[in-house]
């Protein structure tokens, strides 16, 4: 095979990898801060893809232009889910938390199907359609945008979480909520922030994805399943882990799709997951 083809494959793998990573980071952030698994995470992705698509279909606004708005919208949506739903079940048992977000998943999927129908919708002829030719390299523009957009978003997130005072408070609340509260940190607000940021990550991923992937009510399940694998692979609650695992998975599935068969592209991903879970149950960067 030619070097050019390999570069294209790697780029596409990294692009998908960063999108998986962004979804997984949102999931792991919420889990890491408050020990709640958001089972409706994939449906957050579905919503943001619909938002991108509808803005495009209604106003002709390109997904890349509406990305910041979708991210902001999802941030607010994340806050609402926390304040109206999750916060109310936190006093209850673990089961009530699981059923609350699971119920939200079912509700959002059904609502999408009710309003939008089961049809597939795709953004066609957006700014990022077509390819970019760099020398002899032919790079699909949407994937290129995914690499640039998702890696930028991840960089901003890293800066926010690891370099700012707010991020420090967020990490403090996730490591020891009681100690954090004695240091003046409003833990409840940190929980809300984690939901907001987690949902905004998915909003960015959904916007980037809508350039080259159709949206339908069950689209979230496909990506969130991979995101769960990335979270488990990287270690529950670890942002570094979710990033590294997301990129590994992206590369693995693209290479497997090319060299083995596109139908079997996720087989090596789940195989790797099984091996890691067996050999190192806490994942690559997880704590026991």
Which residues are at the interface with another protein (CB under 8 A)?
165-166, 168-169, 171-172, 175-176, 178-187, 287
The residue among 185 and 201 lying less far from another protein, judged by its C-beta, is: 185
Question: What distance in Å separates the CA atoms of residue 159 and residue 167, rounded to the nearest whole number?
Answer: 8
- Cβ distance to another protein smaller for residue 57 or 183: 183
Contacts of 67 (CB under 8 A, 6+ apart): 52, 149, 203, 204, 207, 208
Minimum CB distance to another protein, residue 229 (Å): 24
Choose between 149 and 234: whose C-beta lies nearer to another protein. Answer: 234
Shortest reach from residue 153's CB to another protein, in Å: 23
Beta carbon nearer to another protein, 186 or 262: 186
Closest CB to another protein among 8 and 169?
169
Min CB(155)–another protein separation in Å: 20
On whether the CB atoms of residues 273 and 229 are closer than 8 A, the answer is yes
C-alpha dist (Å) from residue 105 to 113, 147, 250, 274: 12, 28, 25, 26
120 vs 162 by CB, closer to another protein:
162
CB of 287 to another protein, least distance (A): 8
- What's the helix, strand, coil split of the chain in %, to 5? 75, 5, 20
131 phi, psi to nearest 5 deg: -125, 165
Containing H/E element for 115? Answer: helix 94-116
d(CA 202, CA 194): 12
Q: Least separation, in Å, of the C-beta of 215 and another protein?
A: 38
Measured CA to CA in angstroms, residue 261 lies from 89, 114, 135, 165 at distances of 44, 35, 29, 47
Distance between CA atoms of residues 135 and 89, nearest Å: 56
Residue 5 CA to residue 136 CA, distance in Å, equals 10
* DSSP codes of every residue in 190-201: HHHHHHHHHHHH
To another protein, the closest distance from the beta carbon of 191 in angstroms equals 13
Q: Which is nearer to another protein, 147 or 185 (CB)?
A: 185
Q: Which is nearer to another protein, 223 or 285 (CB)?
A: 285
> Shortest approach of another protein to residue 168 CB, angstroms?
6
End-to-end CA distance of the chain: 43
Least separation in angstroms between residue 186's CB and another protein is 5
Count of C-beta atoms within a 10 Å radius of residue 83 = 14
């Amino acid at each position: 095979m030619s070097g050019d083809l390999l570069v294209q494959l790697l780029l596409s793998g990294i692009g998908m990898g960063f999108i998986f990573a962004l979804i997984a980071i949102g999931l792991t952030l919420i889990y890491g801060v408050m020990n709640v698994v958001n089972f409706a995470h994939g449906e957050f992705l579905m919503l943001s893809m619909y938002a991108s698509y509808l803005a495009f279909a209604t106003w002709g606004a390109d997904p890349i232009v509406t990305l910041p708005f979708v991210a902001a919208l999802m941030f607010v949506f994340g806050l609402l889910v926390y304040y109206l739903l999750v916060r109310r079940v936190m006093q209850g048992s673990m089961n009530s938390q699981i059923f609350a977000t699971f119920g939200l998943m079912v509700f959002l999927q059904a609502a999408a199907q009710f309003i939008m129908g089961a049809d597939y919708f795709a953004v066609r002829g957006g700014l990022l359609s077509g390819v970019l030719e760099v020398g002899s390299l032919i790079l699909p523009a949407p994937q290129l945008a995914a690499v640039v957009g998702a890696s930028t978003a991840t960089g901003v997130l890293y800066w926010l979480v690891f370099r700012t005072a707010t991020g420090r408070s967020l990490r403090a609340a996730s490591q020891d909520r009681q100690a954090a509260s004695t240091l003046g940190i409003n833990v409840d607000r940190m929980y809300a922030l984690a939901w907001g940021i987690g949902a905004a990550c998915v909003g960015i991923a959904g916007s980037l994805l809508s350039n080259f992937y159709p949206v339908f009510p069950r689209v979230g399940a496909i990506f969130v399943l991979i995101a769960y694998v990335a979270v488990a692979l990287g270690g529950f609650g670890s942002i570094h882990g979710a990033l590294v695992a997301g990129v590994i998975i992206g590369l693995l599935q693209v290479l497997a799709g090319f060299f083995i068969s596109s139908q079997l592209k996720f087989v090596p991903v789940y195989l790797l997951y099984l091996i890691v879970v067996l050999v190192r149950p806490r994942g690559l960067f997880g704590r026991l």
